Amino acid sequence: MEALLQAVDSLYPEMVGWRRYLHQHPELSYYETETAAFVAGLLKQWGLEVRTQVGGNGIVARVTGNGQGPTVMLRADMDALPIQDQKSCSYASRVDGVMHACGHDAHTATLLGVAKILTEHREALNGDVVVLFQHAEEQSPGGAHSMIAEGALDDVDYVYGIHLWTPFPAGTAYCKEGPFMAAADEFEIVVKGKGGHGGLPHETTDSIVIGSQLVGNLQTIVSRNVDPTQPCVVSVGSFHSGTGFNVIAEQATLIGTVRTFDDELRSGVRRRMESIVGQTCAMNGADYSFDYKLGYPPVVNDAGETDRFFRAGARVMQVKRAPLIMAGEDFAYYLHHRKGCFMFVGAGNREQGVVHPHHHPLFDIDETAMRDAARLFISMIWDCQSNECN
């Protein structure tokens, strides 16, 4: 394994170059055609057989080892977000209104590095390694489900994924067994009132007032209807209504997200939301529509594979038990089918000013996190193919 880890150090500058190129050329979910072509081109250049357009813009390639051990799949996501990059660095996004604001460019560059190293050291592998580059993680229904449907997990025994995470400092890695990341659901509420003149409110049914009541009333779900020992989030992320200063709006639209870890709680929150929306609108004499979309399920890590993380990860970096993460991830679908775990590698660095959260227009990473992530992937593969049984 030592030769593989040394190769990571040697390849690190090239990984930085790939990441910065991708950062300059981001593509939104389901539109990652040029990104996929870039990834496939490098994999083919290194002599790998590559499947393209797997479930969409997904890429799958297999590194065949010399041994007869288990097959391990590693996953990276490729899509960017509809955010304007406000950084002033040389590698800032060149695409107006689109940005890699969650680190997927670095995930892709990291896995490219691992693929190149493994290809050059096939003799060190006691089994095969599948590298999977996934499209559309940021937008439900996501790319994982469709890639699995088209055979991405065929002949795969274990699955591992890594997310670079700026809230954690560079040089650290985090994981936990069982539920780790939340189910991520979406909702849209449309309040249908009666518009009119701003000076004659008594002749209207004010959708903005009703929508404002809903923003407050929905917060009582977590504070008064959910067991305080159970993690839960109900967030209204957008409230749109009105066209003028003297016009009472006829309609208001609220959209947001619900985050839970428990299926029973997930269903209960949905029922309570609809009850609150219906009764609040009825009290004010308004109609409504309520659309609730189930998003990604919770990420649930296998206990044995999480133990492997703490054993194998400790060989290459500082490892810690993670808290629950309320963000969602469609890596959950892979874990429904195969043993594995999802891991976080710290990418924050206050001394470098890398402090902005994910999905922020000034988001950036400490790029040494890619080196850490590559080393963690290699250590996990090595441990799995040397000690398959937990």
Q: Return binding residues for Mn(2+).
A: 102, 104, 138, 163, 359
Q: Is 285 within 8 Å of 205 (Cβ atoms)?
A: yes
Which of these, 150, 361, 192, lies nearest to 286 by C-alpha position? Answer: 192
Q: Is 385 within 8 Å of 69 (Cβ atoms)?
A: yes
Could you check whether the bond before residue 167 is cis, i.e. omega within 30 degrees of 0? Answer: no
Q: Which residues pair with 341 in a beta bridge?
A: 160
Which of these, 196, 21, 200, lies nearest to 112 by C-alpha position? Answer: 21
Contacts of 263 (CB under 8 A, 6+ apart): none
Dist. CA 388–CA 390, nearest whole Å: 6
Q: DSSP readout, 300-365?
A: EE-HHHHHHHHHHHTTTSEEEEPPPB-S--TTHHHHHHSEEEEEEEEEEBGGGTB-PPTT-TT---
Q: What residues act catalytically?
A: 79, 137
Which of these, 40, 42, 45, 44, lies nearest to 15 by C-alpha position? Answer: 42
